[in-house]
Chain A
Amino acid sequence: MGFLAPWFLGGLAALGVPVFVHLLRRHITTPRPVSSLMFFEKGIQSSTRHHKLRYLLLFALRSALILLLVLAFANPFVRRAAAGANDRLLLIVLDNSFSMRAGTRFADAKQQALSTLAAKPHGQKAQIMALGGQLEVLTQPITDDTQLRAALESVQPGDGHANFGDLGRAIRTLSETNPAPIDLHLFSDMQRSAMPANFADMVFPSAVKLVLHPVAKGAAEPNWTVESIDAPAQLQDPKDPKRSKVDAVIAGFNTPAATKSVSLLVNGKVIATRKVDVPANGRATVNFAPLSIEYGFNRCEVRIEGGDAFPADDAGVFSVRRSDPERVLFVHAGNDTRSPLYFGAALGAAAQSSFILQSVAAEQSTDLDPSKFAFVVLSDTVTLPSIFEHTLAQYIAKGGSVLIALGTSAAHHEKIPIWDAAVKDARDYARTGAPATMGQVDFSFPALAQADPGRDNGGWADIKIFYSVVVDPGQARVAARLTDGTPLLLDKQIGEGHVLLLTTGLDNLTNDLPLHPLFVAFVDQTARYLSGNERLSGSRPVDSYVQLRAGTEAAGSAGSVEVIDPDGKRPLSLSEARTMQSYRLDRAGFYQIRFANGRDAVIGVNPDRRESDLEPMAPDVQQLWSGSSTGAGQLTAAAAPVASNKQPFSLWWYVMLLAMVVILAETALASNYMGTQREDI
């Protein structure tokens, strides 16, 4: 036993106060006068004894109170034996990431985990987790061996990418909520690529003892993989030499220089095979052109022939949708000929464009059906035929998209059609002599996306805006603002569709955007965003999410979605199909999805290629990791120092509790005593 704050023991000098009050100070009792003692009798012995007893009791209580308060501040503690074996939580984490499919890694790891579980004392609590693309908690801390074993048996190799940083964060959270010390047994191939960028992310708290069970023995075996595939998601003309091609990068890990045979399969048929020389531990690109595919969705695969130590990663899948070019309806004011010219030219110049622009004056749009178009552009058309406006609203609600550009006509009308908001003001920067420039650009917005915008704001800094309309953003997302804060590009979700609002025009009168090369990229990205074709095909990595329906839609108000996984099964229940907003693509292969707005998609899903690098962590790094929490390495972890078994246990709370009881007793006794004093006087 000891004191964590022994200098507070100096407060024991306060014990002199009750000693003075009760023992040193003379008690002065004022006699109570009476007329005569004729009727009184002496009761000296009993009352004196009563007084003395009470005074001594009060003295003892007061002394005890001061003693306890001083002790509470001094914070006494006792060394208590640390939790025994049965008090420790056995946490078994089994790595089921994609790389565990290599060889017998997963089977070995599961076998070892089962052995560890079997060796567990019967009364000890244990918990099972699986570390794949996400850390799955399979059981709560329980002692039921059967349930624990069943949970461990149920773990199957997945296609996700393990990250030891995620494991570290999860265990730190678990350690905060679970006061018991944890014995963490990690069964993994200890891939180096699973390490986070910062080693501190994978360090565990001191209460966690990490025991590593690496299943990858020896040096990593040679492994070739399809690292990336560059293929069009949508194709109109297979004979188009610019777009009808597939570029695949073949990468080797721990491999000698070799000539690999790579095949392109479309819908299960090999349509081309190429030989490629892959340097040692290097990469090589193989090209397939032209891409001969049929109309509709084509399930394509690039496969490395010959096999290696990890055949599961020898193929990469993607889907290509072949369709005729889609039409875009461009509605403009009757006297406006510049806007369709600029927009059409930009749309045609876009490298990945597959749209045909159909421009029409607003007055002639009455009988048009927007659903036949990929998306609709309203260029400075503040008045639309009511029939067309109604049709357009229904088109948006069902998933259609519209781009509205506001020119100088907008200022003369209060309300913007479709957008459902009023025009607050119009800014004519030309009159002030200083055109506005772009202030903020949200480069995460799909229509403005740029990987590296640079110091010139992605080229937007050079754009001069002469005229802009001020609109209250409301619930809309503001993707770009001018330097004076005026929103320039807004995006609003209406029903299943999107409406994009550009508060300036598409001609060169209200701004000089059409004169810049940036305009082509903007139109191309906007067209792809609004048409929504990007998400209907192509490829995605495992554990990416697909948005199944609009977030603003009320649950159950629209049709259900349908997801068919690579095994041909429907993973969603009926209720999930009606309510689920997004879906995680957790398996490699082709997913077939029918969205809530009725559009179909086939998406190829590939494992994270970092899983193909089978190189394990260096032994010293493993040693450092396993010793990071306990201060000792894995090998010495079993023989933990004896001293650490005793932990200080603070007693201040109990001392304070006792002091509270003494305070109450002292108060009751003292008040009784004070009552007697008043009587005497």
Chain B
Amino acid sequence: MDQRFLDPSVLAGISSLDLLAKTVVDGFVAGLHRSPDFGFSQEFAEYRAYSPGDDLRHIDWNLFARTERMYLKRYRGETNSQLTILLDASNSMQYTSGPPAKMDYARFIAASLFYLAIKNQRDAAGLIVFDDEVREYIRPSTRVGQLSRLFAGLERAEPHARTNFANPLRHFQNFLHRRGIAIIISDFYEDPETIVHTIEPLRYQGHEVVLFHILDPQEIRPVMKGSAIVVDLETDQKIEVVPDYVKTTYRAKVDAHIEELRTRTLAAGMDYQLLVTDQPLDESLRRYLTLREAGN
């Protein structure tokens, strides 16, 4: 796999989401092996000698006519799924300790997933941008121009306002009728119990729900040499903190938060993935494909 094209710091230099997504997905796919599972869809895979018990409908009679031997035509397994990405566009997502910002990283992931879904998997893909309300909804579709619409939606998703999971998620259930994959990209600065409780109904509807937890390295292991005033990006509240607290208590709290979110998410039958903005994007793509395989 060409990690260079998946490195966030490299991707931050690419302005076009289209190109970025193509770069990421092509780089990712180029390193994948073909799936060993075969189906009977339209994409021909190989011939196999007939053995008793095989469905006679799959025998290639033309070949039988020429060779008087019975072979079964095998096709690569292929299904259509629906991908909906729920993107958190609250103010906290604009935090960065170095390129890319969490919001940009989330856009990269979303764009790459859209590209992978529509171009490679021929899945329907949709987007919901939310903060404390649903700001934009692009319904899942495979129509021509859907990818461009999705990218435009991502471009428009600038962070502002606060995160509030309760409000927008009430609407999610109204938007997502058909079962599919729902990927929620957020920094999840909320009580894990509230998050899971809010998202859980999606799972009940039969969606495969994945939580992509985007965090900056400085949010997990912040380095602070002296006392400093910190300001909340969403509330503008300022407090003064001391390095000893950051070094010990803060890190413990963050670790506990991540662990609790992971545990509760998995317990609710959903998937969880922590993505740190200095890590390559391939993990998120791999997780999507895995889910897709599992769901079909």
A residues in contact (CB < 8 Å) with B: 29, 31-44, 46-48, 50-51, 675-676, 678-680
Residue contact A35 to B95, C-beta cutoff 8 Å:
yes
Residue contact B92 to A50, C-beta cutoff 8 Å:
no
Contact of A33 with B245 at beta-carbon distance under 8 Å, contacts A39-B254, A40-B230, A675-B225 already known: no
A interface footprint on B137-148 (CB within 8 Å = 1, 0 otherwise): 000000000000
12 contacts between A and B (CB under 8 A): A31-B238, A32-B228, A34-B231, A35-B234, A38-B189, A38-B257, A42-B241, A43-B227, A43-B244, A50-B227, A50-B242, A51-B227
A interface footprint on B92-106 (CB within 8 Å = 1, 0 otherwise): 110100000010000
Find the A residue at minimum CB distance from B90. Answer: A35
Return chain A residues, CB-CB under 8 Å to B102.
35
Residue contact B233 to A33, C-beta cutoff 8 Å:
yes
Interface residue from A32, A37, A678 paired with B235 (Cβ < 8 Å): A37
Q: Whole-angstrom distance between the alpha carbons of A44 and B242 in the complex?
A: 8
Return chain B residues, CB-CB under 8 Å to A676.
225-228
Q: Whole-angstrom distance between the alpha carbons of A13 and B245 in the complex?
A: 43
B239 at the interface (CB under 8 A from A): yes
Given contacts A34-B232, A46-B242, A47-B226, 11 further A-B contacts (CB under 8 A): A29-B229, A31-B231, A32-B228, A32-B230, A33-B231, A34-B95, A36-B187, A39-B254, A41-B239, A44-B240, A48-B240
Q: How many residue pairs bridge A and B at CB < 8 Å?
A: 97
Q: Whole-angstrom distance between the alpha carbons of A40 and B102 in the complex?
A: 20
Return chain A residues, CB-CB under 8 Å to B249.
41
A interface footprint on B209-251 (CB within 8 Å = 1, 0 otherwise): 0000000100100011111111111110111111011100110
Return chain B residues, CB-CB under 8 Å to A31.
228-231, 238
Find the A residue at minimum CB distance from B249. Answer: A41
B residues in contact (CB < 8 Å) with A: 92-93, 95, 102, 187, 189, 216, 219, 223-235, 237-242, 244-246, 249-250, 253-254, 257
Residue contact B257 to A44, C-beta cutoff 8 Å:
no
Q: How many Å from the CB of B218 to the closest CB on chain A?
A: 9
Q: Whole-angstrom distance between the alpha carbons of A420 and B260 in the complex?
A: 108
Q: Whole-angstrom distance between the alpha carbons of A47 and B243 in the complex?
A: 9
Q: Whole-angstrom distance between the alpha carbons of A48 and B187 in the complex?
A: 31
Q: How many Å from the CB of A44 to the closest CB on chain B?
A: 4
Q: Name the residue in B102, B233, B240 with the highest tally of chain A Cβ atoms < 10 Å from its Cβ.
A: B240
Q: Name the residue in A34, A44, A680 with the highest tally of chain B Cβ atoms < 10 Å from its Cβ.
A: A34
Return chain B residues, CB-CB under 8 Å to A37.
230, 232, 235, 237, 239
Return chain B residues, CB-CB under 8 Å to A51.
227
Interface residue from B216, B223, B250 paired with A40 (Cβ < 8 Å): B250
Residue contact A679 to B224, C-beta cutoff 8 Å:
yes
Return chain A residues, CB-CB under 8 Å to B225.
675-676, 678-679
Residue contact A41 to B241, C-beta cutoff 8 Å:
yes
Find the B residue at minimum CB distance from A46. Answer: B242
Find the A residue at minimum CB distance from B224. Answer: A679
Find the A residue at minimum CB distance from B253. Answer: A39
Return chain A residues, CB-CB under 8 Å to B242.
43, 46-47, 50
Q: 8 closest Cβ contacts across the A-B interface?
A: A47-B227, A676-B226, A43-B242, A35-B92, A36-B189, A31-B231, A39-B253, A35-B95
Q: How many Å from the CB of B217 to the closest CB on chain A?
A: 12
Q: How many Å from the CB of A594 to the closest CB on chain B?
A: 90
Q: Name the residue in B95, B102, B226, B254 with the highest tally of chain A Cβ atoms < 10 Å from its Cβ.
A: B226
